[in-house]
Amino acid sequence: MWRSVWSAMAGSRWSRSDRPDRLNALDRASYEDLSDAWCQIRDDDNIWTAVITGAGEASFCVGADLKEASAREQQQWWRTHYLPLLNNGLDLWKPVIAAVN
């Protein structure tokens, strides 16, 4: 899940993908959380920059969790919600920094 590990430090907000056992792959909950985070960052005038990072040492984020996406009960959700959620909040004009290890 994309954990909102927010800390307001000098106008910056931090968020971390907290699924190191899955190489921080984005599952359904992660996309929803990340979409909410983009909107919060965009709409909060006290946030000047955003920093995103991944937990663990092996990977920043490998992308979509394909095991979850291929599960029969999840296929309809992925077909109808993936792109709208991924693009929600991306009209963000503030700098976003990827802290990649």
pLDDT digits (tens, 9 = 90+) for 79-100: 666 556 666 666 788 999 999 9
For residue 9, the enclosing domain spans 2-99
For residues 41-56, give the mean pLDDT. 90
35: nearest Cα among 77, 90, 98, 76: 90
CATH of residue 54's domain is 3.90.226.10
Give the per-residue pLDDT at 37. 85
pLDDT digits (tens, 9 = 90+) for 2-14: 555 556 667 888 8
Residue recorded with tokens 């991306």: 90
Give the chain's domain count. Answer: 1
Q: CA angle, 56 as apex, 73 and 85 as ends, to 5°? A: 40
Give the per-residue pLDDT at 39. 86
